[in-house]
Structure 1
Amino acid sequence: MTRNNKILVPNARKELDQLKGRVMEAKGYEVNASDPDAVKYEVADEQGIHLKKKNNGQLTSEQAGKIGGPIGGNMVKEMIKMAQEQITRK
């Protein structure tokens, strides 16, 4: 899958990938430290969705959501938790 999403701060890509790796590893997924984005293939397999390395234009919105939802949702939960911890420290 190509990266079509735009990050407001492009320099944050590396840190977001690291966060994705930590979060998904904590959820029990095998994460390749050099390619944490590859965890989407494991999530897709669990959902019974065939995901190719390149063009996945055949995926329905529902299928894409079943793959990206658990990843992004868990990342957002972790970011909220981190923000709450920062607030309580102040």
Structure 2
Amino acid sequence: MSNRMVDPNAKSALNQMKMEIANELGINNSGGANLTSYENGKIGGDLGGLMSKQLVKMGEEELIRQYYNK
């Protein structure tokens, strides 16, 4: 599997989504660079894992939709 970017807009869209979610949760991103990864992980809690599960589910559903619409 390659780490090649499929859609060049995907990275900026994901970064924008992360910033919007952080703002909605009241997470201040300015100090994140000075914190350890463990400390940053505690800020987001289980949100990252749940978001990843949902994104994988959405991707799987889209692949199934594309397969059956050939």
How many residues align? The count is 62
**Which residue number in structure 1 is paired with residue 10 of structure 2?**
15
TM-align CA RMSD = 3.1
For residue 40 of structure 1, report the CA deviation from its aligned partner. 4.0
Q: Percent identity?
A: 13
Q: 1:11-50, aligned counterparts within 5 Å?
A: 12=7, 14-15=9-10, 18=13, 35-41=16-22, 42=24, 45=25
TM-score (structure 1 length as normaliser): 0.47
- Show structure 2 runs of 5+ residues with no match: none
Moved runs in structure 1, 4+ residues, more than 4 A?
none
Aligned AA (1:86) = Q
Q: 1:1-90, aligned counterparts within 5 Å?
A: 8-10=3-5, 12=7, 14-15=9-10, 18=13, 35-41=16-22, 42=24, 45=25, 51-53=27-29, 54-55=32-33, 56-57=35-36, 58-59=39-40, 63=42, 66-90=46-70
Name the structure where helix makes up a greater proportion of residues. Answer: 2
Aligned AA (1:80) = E
User: Residue 88 and residue 17 in structure 1: after superposition, are their counterparts in 2 closer, same or farther (change >3 A)?
Assistant: farther
- Show structure 1 runs of 5+ residues with no match: 1-6, 21-33
